[in-house]
Amino acid sequence: MNTLHLIHKDRGQILENCFIKQLYATLRKSFQVIGVSEADLRSGDYRQPGNDALVLSVLPLRYWRNLIPFLARYAEKAQLFLYDQDPWEAYHDKGCCRGVYPLVAELLPARAFLVTSKWWADYIAQRDGLPTRFVRMGALAANCDMGPPFSERPYTVGFQGAVHPHRQAFFDRMAARGIEATLLERQPFTRFLKTVQQIGIFLYDDNNAITVDGRPTSFHGLWGKCLTVAARGCFVIRNDDESREPYGINELPTVFPYRDEAEIPELVAKIRDMTESERVSLMADTVERIKQRNDWKTVVDQIYA
């Protein structure tokens, strides 16, 4: 088994970040993982990897700029990959990390950026000429559980998580269309996996959430949230975007992307009008497909590509 040096923020990121926690579990099945925290990088308390050693950074994007000198010293002789699940923050008009991708590419021996959106991977490659590779987010098999049937879930339509202003505006528009969504508070991931199974139809929208060069656009990503809740037996209605096809969303019969908000009431009615046996069949099919796909393994595949 090959060794992978994993650069991370701290132990909390590995144990508490819902996506990094699942990625870490996947990496440990393919590599002997040696963890290197931000504190280790800054203090120099590590053994520097040798020639062509595999190094993967899962540091949040907002830490990249300040840690460039430390990363450069650590990964000087290694094959460095940088994983990023928030690439829009480096490019949208109000992004907190604008310009960091080309800066990192100039100063670090980055073999590739592993980006969780095909749209952004292509955009970064075309705009800045950088080596980007698309990797999927997903749901571990251990987190795939159909849960109670639709009719036993107390909230027919709902959302759980942070209600940013653009989402609140969306739910207000839905209320005006007669779709009342129950909004459940944000929870730690383990609890979220349980409480989200109270929702029959998980509804959300990130369309026109950001602007790039003045043009409103979707995040073209965030399908990890969709896959997480679909793997818990929820039907999902969310905005379509150009990362849908690379994520294989058409394979999942309980996920209903829409192009126009006017479609949502009809989609809700379509799900509600199904028989319970039809819904259970679709839920079970989706959960099993996500379980078998093992989307997180794409990160391992791209490190070896």
Token match 């391992």: residue? 300
- Looking at the structure, tell me whether residues 145 and 195 fall in a common domain: yes
Residues 286 and 180 grouped into a single domain: yes
**Shared domain check, 105 and 175:** no
pLDDT recorded at residue 217: 83
Q: Are residues 276 and 186 in the same domain?
A: yes
Same domain for 110 and 199, yes or no, is no
Contact assessment for residue 241 and residue 218, using Cβ atoms and an 8 Å cutoff? yes
Residues 6+ away with beta carbon under 8 Å from 227: 137, 138, 139, 247, 252, 290, 295
Query: What is the Cα 281 distance to its own chain's centre?
Result: 26
Does residue 300 form part of some domain? Answer: no
Distance in angstroms (rounded) separating the CA atoms of residues 190 and 124? 33
Classify residue 174: in a domain, yes or no: yes
Does residue 304 fall inside a structural domain?
A: no
Total domain count for the chain?
Answer: 2
Tell me the CATH number at 148.
Answer: 3.40.50.2000
**CA 225 to each of CA 45, 228, 230, 270: distance values in angstroms, whole numbers, following the listed order:** 36, 5, 9, 22
Residues 100 and 242 in one domain: no
pLDDT for position 219: 85
For 217, phi and psi rounded to 5 degrees? -150, 160
199 lies in which domain range?
141-293
**Domain's final residue, options 135, 163, 183:** 135
Query: Is-contact 26 140, C-beta < 8 A?
Result: yes
Statement to judge: residues 145 and 279 lie in one domain? yes
Q: What angle in degrees, to the nearest 10, is found between the helix axes of 100-107 and 118-128?
A: 70
- pTM (2 decimals)? 0.93
Q: pLDDT of the chain along its 305 residues, tens only? A: 899 999 999 999 999 999 999 999 999 999 999 999 999 999 999 999 999 999 999 999 999 999 999 999 999 999 999 999 999 999 999 999 999 999 999 999 899 999 999 999 999 999 999 999 999 999 999 999 999 999 999 999 999 998 988 899 999 999 999 999 999 999 999 999 999 999 999 999 988 778 989 998 888 888 999 999 999 999 999 999 999 999 999 999 999 999 999 999 999 999 999 999 999 999 999 999 999 999 999 999 999 99
Using an 8 Å Cβ cutoff, are 219 and 208 in contact? no
Last residue of a domain, one of 104, 135, 166: 135
Examine the domain organization and report whether 7 and 108 are in the same domain: yes
Residue 60 burial (CB count, 10 A): 18
> Does residue 147 share a domain with residue 131?
no
Residue that finishes a domain, picked among 135, 152, 170:
135
Measure the CA–CA gap between 223 and 163, rounded to whole angstroms.
Answer: 17
The answer to the question of residue 302 being in a domain is no
